[in-house]
């Protein structure tokens, strides 16, 4: 095995173990044994289980960025976000069973769930920026929070969607992004009205 392939091998092994034995009680030593990598070498690459989750999240981020096209910015914001979310799900597909197992274990391991959400706090602003939507200032903070909720809702559907076309996921994603789009339009109209009142 090439040295460059070791991190991916470790992650794949960890996800398989999460499915077989659960994530909450899984140790780095067990991952090292199953990966046939020394614990010392594994620890240099992944000092904690959360660093494994971070690696998966960063790979998904890169998958989204690799699929971005400048021409996409000409599409409506909702369509851009829909495409980006589906690209992220595609990037996460190899780890789907493991993520599902981790989500199931989150009740027993709230720390893992919290750390997973912390990783999303970095990814969600990146996804919005990739869609050409600013995350700066107070409005940006609100956008990130609202989009995070929408994404997690769609993620739950994706985890339970075993169809080839991910139809259930796409319907749910379209619905939650539609709500965000409606809210954004209302806020924009309210801002315009307030500005007109001030001008008057």
23, part of any domain: no
Q: Please, which residues have CB within 8 angstroms of residue 53's CB and are 6 or more apart in sequence?
A: 102, 112, 115, 116, 119
Q: How confident is the model at residue 199 (pLDDT cuts 50, 70, 90)?
A: very low
Q: How far is residue 145's CA from residue 148's CA, in Å, rounded to a whole number?
A: 5
Q: How confident is the model at residue 67 (pLDDT cuts 50, 70, 90)?
A: confident
pLDDT digits (tens, 9 = 90+) for 46-61: 999 989 999 999 999 9
Count: domains in the chain: 1
Q: Please, which residues have CB within 8 angstroms of residue 41's CB and are 6 or more apart in sequence?
A: 6, 32
5, part of any domain: no
Name the residue with tokens 């893992």. 112
CATH number where 75 lies: 1.10.357
97, part of any domain: yes
Average the pLDDT over 77-83 and give the result.
Answer: 92
Answer whether 98's CB lies under 8 Å from 19's CB.
Answer: yes
Q: How far is residue 31's CA from residue 35's CA, in Å, rounded to a whole number?
A: 6
Q: How far apart are the first and last CA of the chain?
A: 71
34, part of any domain: no
183, part of any domain: yes
pLDDT digits (tens, 9 = 90+) for 116-145: 666 788 899 999 999 999 999 998 998 999
1, part of any domain: no
- Whole-structure pTM value: 0.84
Domain of 161 in residue numbering reads as 49-199
Name the residue with tokens 């589906």. 86
Answer whether 108's CB lies under 8 Å from 177's CB.
Answer: no
Q: Which H/E stretch holds residue 200? A: none
12, part of any domain: no
Answer whether 56's CB lies under 8 Å from 7's CB.
Answer: no
10, part of any domain: no
């Amino acid at each position: 095995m090439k040295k460059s392939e070791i991190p991916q091998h470790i992650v794949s092994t960890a996800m398989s173990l999460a499915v077989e034995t659960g994530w909450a009680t899984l140790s780095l030593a067990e991952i090292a044994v199953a990966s046939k990598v020394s614990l010392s070498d594994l620890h240099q690459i992944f000092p904690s289980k959360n660093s494994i989750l971070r690696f998966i999240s960063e790979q998904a981020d890169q998958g989204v960025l690799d699929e971005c096209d400048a021409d996409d910015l000409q599409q409506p914001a909702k369509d851009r976000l829909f495409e980006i979310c589906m690209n992220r799900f595609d990037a996460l597909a190899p780890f789907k069973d493991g993520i599902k197992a981790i989500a199931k274990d989150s009740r027993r391991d709230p720390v893992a769930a919290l750390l997973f959400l912390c990783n999303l706090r970095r990814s969600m602003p990146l996804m919005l920026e990739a869609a050409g939507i600013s995350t700066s200032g107070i409005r940006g903070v609100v956008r990130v929070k609202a989009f995070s909720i929408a994404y997690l809702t769609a993620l739950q559907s994706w985890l339970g969607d075993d169809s080839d076309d991910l139809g259930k996921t796409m319907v749910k994603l379209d619905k939650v992004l539609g709500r965000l789009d409606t809210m954004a339009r209302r806020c924009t109209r309210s801002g315009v009205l307030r500005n007109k009142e001030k001008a008057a």
